[in-house]
Amino acid sequence: MGKVLLGVSSSIAIYKACELVRELRKSGHEVRVVLSLFSERFISKLTFEALSGNRAYVDWEGDPLLHINLPRWSDVFLIAPCSMNTLSKVALGIGDNLLTTCALSHKGHLLIAPAGNVEMYKNPAVQENLKRLKERGVIVIEPEEGKLLCEEEGQGRLASLERLLDWVEYALRPKPWKDKRVLLTVGATKEFIDRVRFISNLSSGLLGFSLARVFRWYGAQVRVVAGFTTAEEPPEVELTRVVSTQDMRERVRELVDWADVVVMNAAVADYRPLETYAGKIKKGRRLTLELVENPDILLELGREKGNKLLVGFALEEEEGLTEKAKEKLIRKNLDVVVANPLQSMGSGSYRGKVIFREGRVVDVEAENKLRAAECIVQAITEQLL
């Protein structure tokens, strides 16, 4: 995995950096921490040494080239939290401590996550410095809105742990999908019988949301159309919610012209009740449901796809999985089909196959859906880009 240099400047949000170090290590990254002088008044470097398993640094400590060697060691340099003072120093090229001097000598990906009072953040001088940083290619992870320590409401809270981690993964990946626009459907649709009962399935949306994250990591602009999900939504991705299969069809057709690539991962209901009852059906009566077939969104897209890359998913019994998926690929005019055995729905781990039109089959087995999603995207990248 990657080598992450974490810069920590003085902010009450520094406590979140402790959990950030833990999660980065849990993801397999090696972490080293450099602190500004004043930040040690909040948390000592000893805490970060214990959490990272490496030395943490506040000053040069006898190594006159530390400000050169630490950035050279790293793949990614993330400053989180980044105070308005440190932010402005980095923007103006001021290197008056180890942290800001490391920023001056760092040649790789530099990420800055500001945290501070809303008035400080919105100050014209700070906004001008943010603009400078962005123009130089620095990734600014915008702070979030909410209640601040000073009891004021506004933008200034350090970005969530999930967003910080996601941006690190983004910075570590190559960008073969740069300038590509990916439309992705996720989750289960619901077909209502009455106001409270519906037909649906066990899809959590975990694999689809993981795919959205990975496509973004690899440089794509991603839009997601999601039905019902229980998985955590991906950060930094535009997402629209829908309910029924017909709702999803309408939204997909609105967005399809925007996309270069369409990935239809949603587990849509194939049938819907012919009649939806008003209110709630009372218990104690025999009920017969007449179902009608929903439109086949994937089949429609296959007929009209033109030069778009179209990826479908096939959920089938283990026996004959590959053959059934290949038949679906041909019948619906897909470029790629991802074949999943029934056991994969609702499961944390993953085992499936990526099947290409010319016949190549790539087996994917992973301990979690995020790793599986990356294997799927890598297979598609190697074959079709």
Catalytic residue IDs:
150
Taking each continuous run of H as one helix and of E as one strand, the counts in the chain are 13, 20
CB-CB contact of 159 with 78 (8 Å): no
- CA 251 from centroid of its chain's CA atoms: 21
**Which positions ≥6 away from 343 have C-beta within 8 Å?**
318, 351
CB 19 within 8 A of CB 59: no
The β-bridge relationship of strands 309-316 and 336-341 is parallel
Q: What are phi and psi of 50, to 5 degrees?
A: -65, -40
* Residue whose token pair is 């975990």: 206
Report the C-alpha gap between 344 and 340 in whole angstroms: 6
267, 156, 147, 129: which is closest to 207 by C-alpha? 267
DSSP state of 318: S
CA–CA separation, 217 vs 240, rounded Å?
20
∠ CA 163-51-77, nearest 5°, is 45
Q: Are strands 153-157 and 336-341 parallel, antiparallel or unpaired?
A: unpaired
Are 311 and 263 within 8 A, CB to CB?
A: yes
